[in-house]
Structure 1
Amino acid sequence: MKINILFFGIATDLIGSSSQEMELPNQSSVASFKEFLLTEFPELQKMSSYAVAINESYATDDILIKENDVIAIIPPVSGG
């Protein structure tokens, strides 16, 4: 299935792009997507953690991804 991935913050710098279109196997969960993401973009291992949002809502590892979902990779944010 086809998905769109949006990268924010340091993830954009690590990947060198703010978005990617990718193919995932059907019935992929957020947990399996994270594993897939690290094989496709090993430089993401430099981030200590990140959140995943699907269609603008934060997603837990057990959520299933659907065709044409927009997935955002959101690194930790600090500020003051």
Structure 2
Amino acid sequence: MIKVLLFAGMQERAGTNELELDEDRLLISEIKNALQKKYDFPQMFQGCLSAVNEEFADDDTEVTSGDTVAFIPPVSGG
């Protein structure tokens, strides 16, 4: 099982801040594609950072069962 943490607009669109994927092994890019299809995230991954177990990761990073993935949207403020 892979835990996925969502924030901001992704959290609102999915209706939850945490998802569990019943998979043993996926790439970050595969997780993004699956979430984009399921929740219709329009451009939400653009500029978004990915982290696996609290370490930044890229789309080619492999995630395995027991890992936690977080998608961190760009932050703006003043």
TM range (shorter): 0.7 to 0.9
Q: Which amino acid aligns with 2:34?
A: F
**1:30 aligns to what?**
28
Gaps of 5+ in 2: none
Mapped to 2, the partners of 1:48 and 1:60 lie a distance apart of 12
TM-score normalized with structure 2 length: 0.83
Q: State yes or no: 1:19 paired with 2:37.
A: no
Displacement of 1:69 after TM fit? 0.7
Displacement of 1:79 after TM fit? 0.9
In the TM superposition, 1:50-69 aligns within 5 A as 50-69=48-67
Contact 2:25 2:65 (C-alpha < 8 Å) held by counterparts: no
Mapped to 1, the partners of 2:45 and 2:28 lie a distance apart of 17
More strand by share: 2
Q: Which amino acid aligns with 2:53?
A: N
Q: CA RMSD in A?
A: 1.6
**2:4 aligns to what?**
5
Identity percentage of aligned residues: 30
**1:41 aligns to what?**
39
